[in-house]
Structure 1
Amino acid sequence: MTTIAADYQAKADKLCQTVDDLMTRENWEVVEDKNGVLIERMNSSNYDGYMFKMTFTTDMSMNDFMLVTQPRVLGGEREKWDTEMKKVSMVEEVTENLKIIRQETNKFGVGLVSPREFVVMAYKKTIPESNTLVHVMESVEHNECSEKEDIIRATRYPTGMHMSVVDNGGTSSLKVVQLSQVDMGGLIPMSFFTTLLPFMVVGFPEDLRKYLKIIKGQA
């Protein structure tokens, strides 16, 4: 492994620990608990806003879940259903499981939020003993990704998902815990996002099954 790759790996390992520590903190505030989806929030130490944690269980397999939620450069097919995702490109493939990517959005939030872009380090690893897949992201600077004048650079602070297969005695389900910390930048107040987000994601598990049918051409 090169020195640069080793440096990125060290950052990725630290990021995994940070996300795990944040997910397991006490005193999360419940925002919504509906239809099997628990949404909690806590003040972020990285910006003037909240970080959110979403927990739910789905009957989707781990492979199907990743297919629906990840862009093509990370092995998924999210572009087939997500109209807010304009472009996701590979900046650098550090290792098979550690990549630097650039994400560009169209307008979102019912068209109220102008396009944004992110440059992030994306890393995934498996934990065999708990049958868990960990996927984490964090914004990074990269010499091939200078800011553009026509789009706002947003920041993704330690963010991630833990996906664990749960044995239900003959059947299995997938438990998902997702942590989100995003500073969208620009002039829109943070209160707009903190108010809108819980209502945008409460139907997430059911929507994922619909999107999977779109991806597999069954719609």
Structure 2
Amino acid sequence: MDYERAARAVADTLLSYKTDESGWKVCRKSNDVIVSWRSSSEFPGNVYKGEGFIRGSPLKVWECLKPVPNGLRVQWDNNVKTFELVEQISEDVSVCRTVTPSAAMGIIAPRDFVDVILVQKYENGTISSNATNVIHPSCPPQPGYVRGFNHPCGCICVPVSGDSNKTQVFTFFQTDLSGLLPRSVVDSFFPSSMAEFYSNLAKAVKSFKNL
């Protein structure tokens, strides 16, 4: 499989999600984030978009978000239990396995996801992570976990003009959780989970003084 080509296609897809305003419906709004959704063209579910501002420079925010083993994200993101490198494809492309804990009061069992991830840096200072599900021979489904599938998803950190200590963060979640989950559980899980994500990210950026 051409992992690098798949990852770079995701970056284009996320930029199109960011710029295309059509069809999005707001499903949750707080001081930290606006969460919107629309039907996915990738699978029979929804793609969710989060938009919010975080107090901190793009590099500082990115330090909390970047998809690396032993990174900061596992310390603050309640939906990431472990993050493992499966294979480093190139300097900015890797295949990784993410393990998530049970959620929704145990209705959603622990899951794992295998994705190719591209870290993309743009000339204007924007940094993004771009991921989608792949099959990797060294990481088959494992006992105790439901194998889920991420369709084009990721985070985009955008500098705010005139404020070097503020970052606009876009997030896109487009996940097939698999298993026999009621649609109502899935539809309520993602908006609330994304709101928590932004709240916890803001606290993490503020608390990591050494960044």
TM-score normalised per structure 1: 0.84
State the identity as a percent. 24
Residue of structure 2 aligned with 1:14, choices 9, 14, 21: 9
Structure 1 equivalent of residue 74 of structure 2 = 79
Q: Which moved more, 1:18-27 or 1:117-126?
A: 18-27
Give the aligned residue type for 2:9: K
Cα RMSD for the two superposed structures: 2.3
Residue of structure 2 aligned with 1:100, choices 84, 95, 98: 95
Find out whether 1:28 has 2:21 as its counterpart. Answer: no
- Are the counterparts in 1 of residues 56 and 165 from structure 2 also a CA contact under 8 Å? no
Write the mapping of 1:152-167 to structure 2, written as runs, cut at 5 A.
152-167=146-161
Residues 65 and 14 of structure 1: CA distance in aligned 2, closer, same or farther (over 3 Å): same
Structure 2 equivalent of residue 139 of structure 1 = 133
Unaligned runs of 5+ in 2: none
Structure 2 equivalent of residue 40 of structure 1 = 36
| SS of corresponding position for 1:202 | helix
| SS of corresponding position for 2:179 | coil
Provide the rounded CA distance (Å) in 2 between the counterparts of 1:215 and 1:79. Answer: 14
Residues 172 and 92 of structure 1: CA distance in aligned 2, closer, same or farther (over 3 Å): same
Q: Which moved more, 1:82-91 or 1:94-103?
A: 82-91
Structure 2 equivalent of residue 176 of structure 1 = 169
Structure 2 equivalent of residue 116 of structure 1 = 111
Q: Which moved more, 1:193-202 or 1:86-95?
A: 193-202
Q: Which has the higher contact order (CA 8 A, sep 6+)?
A: 2
TM-score normalised per structure 2: 0.87
Structure 1 runs, 4 residues or longer, greater than 6 Å off: none
Provide the rounded CA distance (Å) in 2 between the counterparts of 1:214 and 1:166. Answer: 21
Unaligned runs of 5+ in 1: none
Structure 2 equivalent of residue 61 of structure 1 = 57
Provide the rounded CA distance (Å) in 1 between the counterparts of 2:54 and 2:205. Answer: 13
Provide the rounded CA distance (Å) in 2 between the counterparts of 1:171 and 1:93. Answer: 32
- Size of the aligned set, in residue pairs, is 209
Provide the rounded CA distance (Å) in 2 between the counterparts of 1:117 and 1:171. Answer: 36
Q: 1:139 offset after TM fit, Å?
A: 0.5
Per-residue displacement from partner, 1:74-118 (whole Å, max 9, x unpaired)? x73122234543322111001121100111122123333111000
- Are the counterparts in 2 of residues 137 and 156 from structure 1 also a CA contact under 8 Å? yes
Provide the rounded CA distance (Å) in 2 between the counterparts of 1:162 and 1:85. Answer: 18
Give the aligned residue type for 2:159: V
- Are the counterparts in 1 of residues 58 and 166 from structure 2 also a CA contact under 8 Å? no
